[in-house]
Structure 1
Amino acid sequence: MTHTLTLVATITAQAGQQTAVEGHLRTLVAASREEAACIQYDLHQQQDAPHVFIMIEQWRDAAALAEHKETAHYQAFSTTCGPLLQGVELKLMNKIA
């Protein structure tokens, strides 16, 4: 049985880079939502720490997420935004109910 794959990413911008990171993330969201296997791709900003962003993603399966990581828009985000980040924490989950 194939389960929907959920990814929760906590993305922390370096000091002074919050606005730039948000712009890159918004671009990534728009492009990623166009992918056929994307079920959900929502960006949130932490209220008490606005330099921390939370991305909640749902993909058809693990293969779809792997394909996402190979897209031009994901690669562009990684290249341009990577140096602006303090860190990224990923949590992968299977939706079971």
Structure 2
Amino acid sequence: MSQVAVVSINTAKPGQEAKLEAALQALVEPSRRDAGCITYDLHRDIKDPRTFVFIELWESAELLQVHSQAAHVAVFRGQAPELLENSILRVLDKLPG
């Protein structure tokens, strides 16, 4: 099993920045406790304060998949349509070197 990185870019609908930030913050601690989580950090874009970015590192794609089905992720998915203007998810393999 090889590690996978995740970059998740989430842009709030206008006026929903604070609610989106709170919803994303609510994911941090339970996700860090999920099996296989190495890093799970939330950032805000310096030039666009409506945009929040997760940078994650997981022990394997399989454990990332388990995380994606966790209850706390399901709660966020239920909130997302009201809060998100756009969301981009990239799952990355680390290259040697």
Place the TM-score, normalised by the shorter chain, in its bin. over 0.9
* 1:91 shift after superposition: 1.3
| Matches for 1:3-82 after TM superposition, within 5 Å | 3-82=2-81
Aligned length: 96
Q: Is there any run of 5+ residues in structure 2 with no aligned partner, and where?
A: none
The percentage of aligned residue pairs carrying the same residue is 34
In the aligned structure 2, how far is the partner of 1:17 from the partner of 1:7?
24
SS of the residue 1:65 aligns to: helix
| TM value normalised by structure 1 | 0.93
Stretches of 4+ aligned residues off by more than 3 angstroms: none
* Equivalent pair of 1:45/1:52 in contact (CA under 8 Å): yes
* Equivalent pair of 1:3/1:96 in contact (CA under 8 Å): no
* Equivalent pair of 1:7/1:92 in contact (CA under 8 Å): yes
Q: CA RMSD in A?
A: 1.1
| TM value normalised by structure 2 | 0.93
* Equivalent pair of 1:40/1:59 in contact (CA under 8 Å): yes
What amino acid sits opposite 2:80 in the alignment?
Answer: C
Deviations 1:13-41 (A, max 9, x none): 00000000000100101110011210110
